[in-house]
Amino acid sequence: MQLARHAFALLLGLLMLLLDPRTAIARDGETPPAADAGTTAEPTPARPPKPPAADSADSSGASGPPAAELATVSTGSSVNVRATTEIAGYLDSTATSVLTPSIAATVESPTAGWAVNGRYLVDVVSAASPDIVSTASPNFKEVRQAGNLGFRYKPSTLGIAGNVGTSYTPDYFSLSASVQLTQELDDKNLTLVQGYGYGHDTIGRTGTPFSVFSRDLAYHSIALGASRVVNSGLVIGLFGDAILERGDQSKPYRYIPLYTPAVAATIPRGASVDQVVASRSQARPLEQLPLQRDRFALTGRLAWRLTSSTLRIEERGYADSWGLRASTTDVRYFIDVSRRITIWPHGRVNLQNGVEFWQRAYASNGSNDIPALRTGDRELGPLRTLGGGGGVRFALGKAGATEDIVLSTTLDGYWTSFADAVYVKERFSALSATTLDVAF
């Protein structure tokens, strides 16, 4: 709570600065000398919009408008409008598939420094994973709808962005709001950012009204960071996040098999559904997770623009109060094949240990000896994921307008090894997304 109070005080201070009319004076409205303006290696486009705070409502962690929106080039009009549609498909070796169409739009005034944006997406999920088979349940099909609205206002070196979002499935309803403040210093060579978000999730069961059965999960998120221009092609950044979750987020469908202590020791990694069913005790309680979770992440970013390519590296270190520690490395290398075509390879590595209460096979001596904390969520166990793939981007606009119509597509594959789980030893998955972005 101390951390939350400090962050709130900082936030309030910056907000007061922002509202002070004296701060509206642009500190670095320098214009380039005419002789210098033509010597830059690349033309300087209008200021790309800053993405607003993270959209936490759809659990995606995605922040801001779609990438292509950030390539907006002012055409002389005071207001730019862009629309984006994406369709993505996911498949994995545990019989889960997801189809995700989405639409998004942004209206912005680069000269006045404001922008509003919105996004709506649908997830059509179909699953028949071993976890579902083990409970003798039919295949799982679900539609999730999520949307968010955001704004950004940055008339000078101080800026504010906000975002509200919601996500709905028949058994899960999420609402969130966030605000992010940015301040540019040192002629915009140093950018400070801080943000606060609040979300509230209602967790229920399909077919049962929330009024009959539901659990509440509330979360506060605080972000603090800085981005530094090192030279004319290199930017580095360091960002810290704290997310404080309060409430029971146990899955009301997830039953945990228990075993006598002697049998538990013999359950192998990747034990089949039949093996688990034959070995487990009669008692099969629902999952029970701790009622609060404090998550902390520290993320370093590097973006380096070379003559005709860009290297982007992101490294995230993570720790939480459940004992989970993780390292995530993400690398993209964009290559300009021509003025209209960009390709990029992409790699991602995620390594994590398990939460403190993780066990492959929970031991119990009877119904009076059920472990207080128990889970069957493989993503809370030790795992490692290696991912690789890439994308290609085509600028399809008329001559000289490389940002008017942009078509891009990505394909990535992932291999995940679960070091200490039943049912599944490894998972192969693939994600493909195609995006069309149009300026009006």
Partner 1 sequence: MTSRASSSPARVLLLLVALSSAACTHVRPWERGKLAHPTMNGAHGAGPAEEHVYSVQEGATGGGASAESGCGCN
Assess 63 for contact with partner 1 (CB under 8 A): yes
Assess 44 for contact with partner 1 (CB under 8 A): yes
Which region, judged by CB under 8 A, interacts with partner 1, from 11-19, 128-136, 254-262, 305-313? 305-313
Assess 45 for contact with partner 1 (CB under 8 A): yes
Q: Nearer Cβ to partner 1, position 6 or 284? A: 6
One character per residue 81-120, x = contact with partner 1 (rule: CB under 8 A): -----x-x-x-------x-x-x-------xx-x-----x-
Assess 411 for contact with partner 1 (CB under 8 A): no
CB of 440 vs partner 1, minimal distance in Å? 18
Q: Nearer Cβ to partner 1, position 121 or 280? A: 121
Assess 324 for contact with partner 1 (CB under 8 A): yes
Which region, judged by CB under 8 A, interacts with partner 1, from 135-143, 186-194, 261-269, 417-425? 186-194
Assess 70 for contact with partner 1 (CB under 8 A): yes
Assess 60 for contact with partner 1 (CB under 8 A): yes
Assess 255 for contact with partner 1 (CB under 8 A): no
Rule CB under 8 A: which of 370-389 touch partner 1? 379-380, 383, 385
Assess 338 for contact with partner 1 (CB under 8 A): no
Assess 129 for contact with partner 1 (CB under 8 A): no
Assess 240 for contact with partner 1 (CB under 8 A): yes
User: Residue 94 class from Cβ within 10 Å (0-12 exposed, 13-18 middle, 19+ buried)?
Assistant: buried
Assess 433 for contact with partner 1 (CB under 8 A): yes
Assess 407 for contact with partner 1 (CB under 8 A): no
Rule CB under 8 A: which of 284-303 touch partner 1? 295-299, 301, 303
